[in-house]
Amino acid sequence: MPKWLDNAVFYEIYPQSFCDSNGDGIGDIQGIISKLSYIKELGCNALWINPLYDSPFMDAGYDVRDHKKVAARYGTLDDVKELLKTAHEMGIKVLFDLVPGHTSDTNEWFLQAKKAEKNEYTDNYIFTKSVWDAPPQYRLMCGICERDGNYLVNYFSSQPALNYGFYEITHPQWQMPHTCDAAKKTVELIKDIMRYWMDLGVDGFRVDMADSLVKNDDDKIATSKIWADIRKMMDKDYPECALVSEWCNPQRSINDGGFHMDFYLDHYGNGYSTLFRYLVDGENKSFFSDSAQGELTTFLSEYMENYPKTKDNGYICFMTNNHDMPRATFYMSEEMIKLTHAFMMTMPGVPFVYYGDEIGMRYQTELVSKEGGFSRTGSRTPMQWNSSKNLGFSTADAEKLYLPVDKSADAPTVENNVGRKGSIYENLKTLIALRHEHESLRNGSDFELVSAEKGDNLFVYKRGEFTVYFNVSSDKKVVELENVGEIVFMLGEYDIDGEKLILKGRNAVIIKN
């Protein structure tokens, strides 16, 4: 386990929307380099950067055309080297996105696999036996190849699935077992891509759709074995590099697959959803919601099932948001967002901050889909730096921007958040600093539940010598204290009366006992 993960706080960058250094309307690598000091000042000491690879951008870069080539709109390989060098000099680690499940349909591997004549790439992808063979239970593109067969895709039609084989064979005429040579070759291709970037200095990868490799593998037995094998390679040759999975099943991803981290994803009705963004008839009824109607039941049942079983092997990771979800401002007020940040920065695991969440950027609901974004497009708008043209993102004319900036008169920016007492930024910066300062608020101590009664709006837990108190309702709550310690963080109004802590509503208090 890379030791640096214990004190890591990640900052996710959607590169095309972060900072445009050359005025073409699209963010780029030099723009990221120019803002590293800002990220460091916030307290984040690690980056996750969404795909920078060459792509036709049918899915915002998750459709990779060339895994070892930097997309021209972002810059060059020399820019990547400069980014890594500068970040490392500042003590910032850098994870790239890895997309192992599919490629672009313009990838050279696939262009060769589509040909009727057999070649070295014929079995890199999954084709049915003939063009007339199109089982309805599979997502297939039919009748568009020179080759006599239809091919499986992951999500969009432009993303043919790579061949890792099948765990259960239901159509033996064309399905290959996961133990076949072709499947093993695919794993080696992915390892080769990983080695290429880690040799250049990349500190690891966030893995897109990590559980999607082997088909008909409902329990992810074969898929987990692939990742466990990759972890062995990393432990041997790149022991300080890290893997975080888009999986949301820590017992499988961490314990079975060997991932160092697993994202707690927003799946409707699961623990993350019912904590932060559980919409019922258009109203947020999560625990951390302005309606204060939520329950902790679903979250705690999931978390307390997974955390004890995985904590010695890896980290369950909370994120403020990511590029696939509506921003938190769509669901809750600034006041409640600050409470969620207090929760995420005091829980075990490795926290991730999505660019712009530190200033309360808004989810723009009326945008036309961009590069396969669809409903996600509104969370991918340009970072809002200051009050200058295009809110400081780019000097380009507005019509050339990757996406429009927030046109509201009160659009949040770094400029109007930094130094303003009580802002989301200053609140989060304080919490990150507190986490860095105290090992117990990172992963130096276990999570101990103190109070989370059904129907109550009070949530209390311990992390070593710290006790964290939340009252998400507007009503006063009174808590008996074992002893009155040092208050190291407060959000909202409170009183201490003898051995009683009085939480006056919508607040959080952290006490060092």
Does 1 score more than 90 pLDDT? yes
71 with 92, same domain: the answer is yes
Mean pLDDT of 320-325: 98
* Torsion (CA) 340, 346, 351, 354 in degrees, nearest 10: 30
115 with 263, same domain: the answer is no
The answer to whether residue 15 sits within a structural domain is: yes
pLDDT band at 365; cut points 50, 70, 90 = very high
State both tokens at 277.
């963004």
Count of domains observed in the chain? 3
Question: Cβ distance 238 to 209 under 8 Å?
Answer: no
63 with 90, same domain: the answer is yes
Range of the domain at 157: 102-161
- Domain final position from 437, 472, 500: 437
The answer to whether residue 259 sits within a structural domain is: yes
279 with 364, same domain: the answer is yes
pLDDT band at 253; cut points 50, 70, 90 = very high
pLDDT at position 455:
86
Distances (CA, A) of 500 to 129, 201, 477: 72, 52, 10
The answer to whether residue 67 sits within a structural domain is: yes
Distances (CA, A) of 168 to 39, 171, 222, 507: 46, 9, 10, 51
The answer to whether residue 317 sits within a structural domain is: yes
- Domain final position from 437, 467, 501: 437
83 with 199, same domain: the answer is yes
CATH classification of the domain holding 156? 3.90.400.10
Distance CA 9, CA 349 (A): 10
The answer to whether residue 174 sits within a structural domain is: no
Distance CA 60, CA 75 (A): 16
- 466-471, strands of its sheet edge to edge: 447-451, 458-463, 466-471, 507-512, 486-491
**Cβ-based neighbours of 225, under 8 Å, separated by 6 or more:** none
239 with 357, same domain: the answer is yes
Distance CA 203, CA 242 (A): 6
- Domain final position from 372, 405, 437: 437
pLDDT band at 98; cut points 50, 70, 90 = very high
Does 246 score more than 90 pLDDT? yes
155 with 300, same domain: the answer is no
CA angle, corner 375, sides to 415 and 381, nearest 5?
20
pLDDT at position 288:
97
The answer to whether residue 380 sits within a structural domain is: yes
154 with 292, same domain: the answer is no
**Considering the chain, what percentage of its residues have pLDDT values greater than 90?**
97
291 with 272, same domain: the answer is yes
211 with 317, same domain: the answer is yes
| Per-residue model confidence as pLDDT tens digits over 372-385 | 999 999 999 999 99
CATH classification of the domain holding 93? 3.20.20.80
Matching residue, tokens 């609140």 = 427
82 with 109, same domain: the answer is no
Longest dimension (CA), the chain: 83
pTM for this predicted structure: 0.98
Q: What is the CA radius of gyration of the chain?
A: 24
**Considering the chain, what percentage of its residues have pLDDT values greater than 70?**
100
Residue type, 278: Y
The answer to whether residue 126 sits within a structural domain is: yes
91 with 125, same domain: the answer is no
| Per-residue model confidence as pLDDT tens digits over 259-279 | 999 999 999 999 999 999 999
pLDDT at position 484:
84
- The stretches of 277-411 forming alpha helices (DSSP H) are 297-310, 334-344
What b-and-e string marks burial along 316-352, b requiring 16 or more CB atoms within 10 Å of the CB?
Answer: bbbbbbbbebbbbbbbbeebbbbbbbbbbbbbbbbbb
Mean of the per-residue pLDDT values of the chain: 97
Does 483 score more than 90 pLDDT? no
pLDDT at position 376:
98
| Per-residue model confidence as pLDDT tens digits over 434-473 | 999 999 999 999 999 999 988 899 999 999 999 999 999 9
pLDDT at position 263:
98
Q: How far apart are the first and last CA of the chain?
A: 30
pLDDT band at 482; cut points 50, 70, 90 = confident
The answer to whether residue 171 sits within a structural domain is: no
Mean pLDDT of 103-111: 98
Please give the DSSP secondary-structure letter assigned to residue 217. -
Matching residue, tokens 């990838």 = 107
pLDDT at position 141:
97
